[in-house]
Structure 1
Amino acid sequence: MIRVKIPATSANLGAGFDCLGLAVDLYNYVDMDFCDHVVISSSDNTPVPTGKNNLIYSSAEHLFELCGKKLDGLKIIQQNNIPMTRGLGSSSACIIGGLVGANTLLGNQFSKDELVNIASEIEGHPDNTTPALHGGIVTAVLDDSKVFWVKQEVKNRLKLIAIIPDFQLSTVEARKCLPNQVSHMDARYNLSRAALFSASLLQGKFENIKVAVNDKLHQPYRMGLIKNGKEVFQKAYGLDAYGVYISGAGPTIMAMIDDDNTIFVNEMRAYLNSLGLTGWEMKELAIDNIGTTVENVK
C-alpha cells in the first residue's frame, strides 16, 4: 500500500482570479492499494462517498482509462484534515491524491506535466490542483486544454492565518454570484495587482501586498456570501495583516501576517467571539514548497 500526502491550497490570492495559487502545510492523506472491488473508508470518521463516485476513486479510474487499463477496484483510506468546501482546495486534494496514487501504482506512466493537465481537465481550472501537486506559489494558465505554469518557492517570514467559517460554500454556488462581463477598467485593475502580488511576495516587499490582494472580479461579489466578512477583513488589517483575501471561492478568509506578529491570533479569536462567531476556526499555516509526496506503508 502507498500513502499520498497532499497539501491544502489557497487560490486567487485576491486579484489572481483562477490563475494564482499556493500550497500550505495542512495535509490530506490517501492510502491506496489494488483490490478486486471498491473499498473506501475514512480514518478520521469524516463522511465520504464509498462508491465509484468518490472523487479520489473516480480520478484514479480516469487515469487507468487513459492508460487503457481496466480497474476492478481499489482500497482507499482517507484522512481528511483539509476542511471540505471551505476554499482550501479539498476537492483538488482528492483529485491529486487519486491521480498521483494511481500513477504510482501504474509505475509512473505519466509525468508531472501530464498530471497537471489531467488534473485541470477534471477540476476545470488549474489554480488549486497545480500547487497541490508541485507546492510553492504557482501561476497557471489554461490555454486550449493545456496548462502553462510556473512554480516558485517562497522562503520568507510570512505566516498565513486561515479564518474558517462554520459553513460550507461550494465553488459552483460561489461562481453563480459573479457577473458575466466586467469592464475594461476592472480587468486592467486586476491584471496589475496580480502581477504585483507574485513579485512582491518573492522579493519580500510585503508593504505591497495590501494593494496587490485588492480585486474587482470576484471578491466584491462573494463577500456578500460571508456573513461578517467585511468586518473580519477590517479587523485583520487593524491587527497589522499585510494582506487579507477570500481563499479560493470562500468562505475561508486568509490573512498574511509577519512571523513576529504575536497578537493576531488571540485578538482575532476574541473579536470573532464578540461577533458570536464561536464556531469559526483559525489555523496558523506556512507555505509548503514541496507539494504532493508518496511513500510506501505497511
Structure 2
Amino acid sequence: MSAMPAERLPVVAGEGPTITVRVPATSANLGPGFDSFGLALARYDEVSVCRTDGPLEVVVSGFGADDVPLDDRHLIIRAIGTALTAAGAPADPTGLRLTCVNRIPHGGGLGSSAAAIVAGLLLGRELAAENGRRLSDDELLALATAMEGHPDNVAPALVGGFTLAFTGEDGVPVAIRRDVHPDVRIVVFAAQESSSTHHTRGLLPATVPHADAAANAADAALLVHALTVDPAYLLPATRDRLHQPYRAASMPASAALMTHLRAAGVPAVISGAGPSVIALVAGDFDVNAWRRPGFDVDFVPVCPAGARLVD
C-alpha cells in the first residue's frame, strides 16, 4: 500500500486547514470470492474535515442525507476517533466540521460503509499527525477491517484495483492488489432499493456441502486469472454456490436479473450482499437493452488507485 501524503488548503479565519479525501465505491465477492475478493469502482464519496472553534458539525448531501446521524454516531466521525485513538492523539470530536458528499448508494452492496470507514480513518490519520504518530497503511487496513468485520470492501477502497484480502495466522489482514485486464469493463446495475448486509448475512447457512466449497475454490482461482490475464474465462469464473443461492429469495429482482444476464452469456454477479448487480464484460454490451425497472445502469470504470487525499 503506497503512502498518501497530506495536502492542506489555506487556513480560513476561525478554522484550521481543510483535509479532503475521495473514496471509491467497491464491489465485494465477485461471485466465488466470498469475503475475500473486491473491486474498486470509479464512483466516489468526497469527505472533508477541518477544526473550528465551535461544536461538532456534520453536513451531508447526496445519498443518506436524510437518514444518517449528524452527531458523533456518524460512521465517519467514529472512524476518525478510531484513528486518533490508535495514533495516541485526543479523540474528542468537538470542534470538527465534517462535510460529506455521498455518491455511493447506501445499502446497495456497493461499499458505502467501507467508503465511510476508510474516509474517516484517512482523515483521522491526518488529524493525528498534529498531535500523535502517523499511522501506517497496514495499520489503516487493520483498523478498517476491524470496524467493517471483513476486508473484502475496505481493501479495494484503500488500494484500488482488484484485491484479494485475507487474515493471516497472526490475525493481521493482508491485501494483495492486482490490475484488472484492460479489456474488462464493469457494468453496474445499482439497485434503487436497499438491503441490510446484517440481514442477508443471516440467511447464509452455518455449513455448506463439500462439493460446493470445492467448486467455489476452483472458480475463485479461475477468477483471478480471468480478471487479470484472460477475460475469456469470466463466465465460468463467476459461478458461486456459497452465498448467492441462499440470498436470492430476499432480492428476487436482483436474482432474476443476474440469472437472465448469465443465461445470455454475460458474467454477472450480485455485488457484495446486494441488491445491486455487476457485470464483468470484455466484449460488446448494450446497456440500453438491459435497463430494468428498479436499477440504474451504467458503465463504471475500475478505480486503479483507491482512496486519496485531494485539494
- Could you tell me the TM-score, scaled by structure 2's length? 0.87
Q: What does 1:132-281 correspond to in 2, within 5 Å?
A: 132-143=157-168, 144-203=170-229, 205-237=230-262, 240-241=265-266, 243-258=267-282, 261-263=284-286, 265-269=287-291, 272=292, 277=293, 279-281=294-296
Q: What letter is aligned with 2:84? A: F
- Does the 8 Å CA contact 2:25/2:157 hold for their aligned counterparts? yes
**Root mean square deviation of aligned Cα:** 1.6
Q: Distance in 2 between matches of 1:6 and 1:146?
A: 23
Deviation digits for residues 12-34 of structure 1 (CA, Å, limit 9, x no counterpart): 01000000001010000001112
1:66 positional shift? 1.5
Match in the other structure for 1:22: 39
Which structure 1 segments of 5+ residues have no match? none
1:37 aligns with 2:52: no
1:244 positional shift? 0.5
Deviation digits for residues 198-231 of structure 1 (CA, Å, limit 9, x no counterpart): 111111x222111111111101011111123343
Deviation digits for residues 86-124 of structure 1 (CA, Å, limit 9, x no counterpart): 000000000000000111222371111110111001111
- Does the 8 Å CA contact 1:4/1:293 hold for their aligned counterparts? yes
Q: What letter is aligned with 2:42? A: D
1:63 aligns with 2:83: yes
Q: Distance in 1 between matches of 2:254 and 2:24?
A: 25
Q: Helix, strand or coil: the match of 1:37? A: coil
Count of matched residue pairs: 285
1:145 positional shift? 2.9
Deviation digits for residues 48-86 of structure 1 (CA, Å, limit 9, x no counterpart): 311111000000011111223223322110011000010
Q: Helix, strand or coil: the match of 2:227? A: helix
Q: Distance in 2 between matches of 1:230 and 1:68?
A: 46
1:6 aligns with 2:31: no
Q: Distance in 2 between matches of 1:151 and 1:136?
A: 6
Q: Helix, strand or coil: the match of 2:252? A: coil
Q: Distance in 1 between matches of 2:55 and 2:92?
A: 6
1:295 positional shift? 2.2
Where does structure 1 differ by over 4 angstroms across 4 or more consecutive aligned residues?
Answer: none
Q: What does 1:92-103 correspond to in 2, within 5 Å?
A: 92-103=114-125
Moved more, 54-63 or 229-238: 229-238
Q: Helix, strand or coil: the match of 2:50? A: strand
1:54 aligns with 2:74: yes
Of all paired residues, the percent bearing the same amino acid is 32
Q: Helix, strand or coil: the match of 2:62? A: coil
- Does the 8 Å CA contact 2:43/2:300 hold for their aligned counterparts? yes
Moved more, 158-167 or 92-101: 158-167
Q: Helix, strand or coil: the match of 1:228? A: helix
